[in-house]
Amino acid sequence: MFRKSKKTKKNKKAQPVKAAAVAPEDNQSEVDDQQTEEWSSGYEGQLAIDVYQTPDSIVIKSTIAGVSPEDIGVTVDNDMVTIKGERKSSQEVKKDNYYYQECYWGSFSRSVILPVDVESDKIEAELKNGILTVVLPKAKKERTTKVEVRAV
C-alpha cells in the first residue's frame, strides 16, 4: 500500500510519525490480504470488450487469454448479450510469494445492450489466439411498415 509523504518547507523540519499511527509492515500485509479477501469474495470480474458494427452485423471482441471455449458462455436475451466465463489458475501460489498480482483469476462477465435487433439463431462465437469474437447478424427487418386505414 502506498502512503503519501508530507512535504515540508525548506526552513521547517519534518515531524516524526507517531508509531501508533502506522501499522508495522508485517501486520499491514496481513490487513491488506484480509481486506482484499473480504472485498473480492463474491466479486465477478468485468470483461473488457470492443463493440462495433459492419453493414450486416454487430461484432463484439474481447481478449480472453487462458480461458478454454468450454469455460465461456454467450447468451442473448431480448436486446442484451451476456458473456460469462471463468479463468482458472493452473497453479496455486501463496499470497506471500507474489511480488505483483495484477492478473484476474476467477469468474467474469459482461453484458451489453444491443443497439439493433439481431437474428439470434445465426449468432456465431469463436475463440482464436485468446481473442473471443462474437458476430451478431443484424435482423433484416423492413423499417417502413404500411398500415391500411379502414373505414368504421
Q: Which residues contact 64 (CB under 8 A, 6 or more apart)?
A: 47, 72, 85, 87, 127, 130, 131, 132
Which CATH number goes with the domain that contains 59? 2.60.40.790
Q: Is residue 101 assigned to a domain?
A: yes
Q: What is the 3-state secondary structure (H, E, C) of 79-127?
A: CEEEEEEEECCCCCCCHHHCCCCCCCCEEEEEEEECCCCECHHHCEEEE
Q: Is residue 51 assigned to a domain?
A: yes
Q: Is residue 78 assigned to a domain?
A: yes
What secondary structure letter does DSSP report for 104?
-
Task: Give 59-110 pLDDT, tens digit per residue.
Answer: 999 998 888 899 999 999 988 999 999 888 777 888 888 888 777 788 999 9
pLDDT at res. 137: 95
Q: Is residue 17 assigned to a domain?
A: no
Q: Is residue 77 assigned to a domain?
A: yes
Provide the Cα torsion 113, 114, 116, 122; round to 10°.
-140
* Residue 101 structural domain: 44-137
Q: Is residue 149 assigned to a domain?
A: no
User: What is the tally of structural domains in the chain?
Assistant: 1
Q: Is residue 11 assigned to a domain?
A: no
* Phi, psi for residue 70 in degrees, rounded to 5: -65, -20
pTM: 0.63
Task: Give 128-148 pLDDT, tens digit per residue.
Answer: 999 999 999 999 876 667 888
Q: Which residues contact 138 (CB under 8 A, 6 or more apart)?
A: 53, 56, 57, 58, 116, 117, 118, 119
Q: Is residue 31 assigned to a domain?
A: no
